[in-house]
Amino acid sequence: DAKTTQPNSMESNEEEPVHLPCNHSTISGTDYIHWYRQLPSQGPEYVIHGLTSNVNNRMASLAIAEDRKSSTLILHRATLRDAAVYYCILGNNAGNMLTFGGGTRLMVKP
């Protein structure tokens, strides 16, 4: 099964951009790349997803490497409310979501 690898933690200053990396070197051609985040005491929530092209939404941007073996979640201006654990996971066309890894704990300093 394709897995993802993320740094355990990252720090950022408030109002600065944050780039959260994810490696998925064994991704298959039909796997979508999803990002979720989990705020303290809450269930995970959807952030963004993509297949091959870079994606933007109101929360974040997703940059996908040309070979699709890595991706980067970009928060353009981190706020204190963005402090959370960010998970990069893969969703395949068989329907199941592959395993969540440990995620990256993002700390935002005022």
Partner 1 sequence: EAQVTQNPRYLITVTGKKLTVTCSQNMNHEYMSWYRQDPGLGLRQIYYSMNVEVTDKGDVPEGYKVSRKEKRNFPLILESPSPNQTSLYFCAIRRTGGADTQYFGPGTRLTVL
Given the rule CB under 8 A, which residues bind partner 1? 30-32, 34, 36, 42-46, 49, 51, 87, 91-93, 95-97, 99-103
End-to-end alpha-carbon separation of the chain, Å? 39
CB of 106 to partner 1, least distance (A): 15
Of residues 40 and 110, the one with the C-beta less far from partner 1: 40
> What phi and psi values does residue 2 have, to the nearest 5 degrees?
-70, 135
Of residues 82 and 103, the one with the C-beta less far from partner 1: 103
How many CB atoms are located within 10 Å of the residue 95 CB? Answer: 6
Return the beta strands (E) in 32-94 as ranges: 32-38, 45-50, 55-56, 61-64, 70-75, 84-91
CB of 16 to partner 1, least distance (A): 26
CB of 15 to partner 1, least distance (A): 28
Q: For tokens 């960010």, name the residue.
A: 86
Of residues 7 and 109, the one with the C-beta less far from partner 1: 7
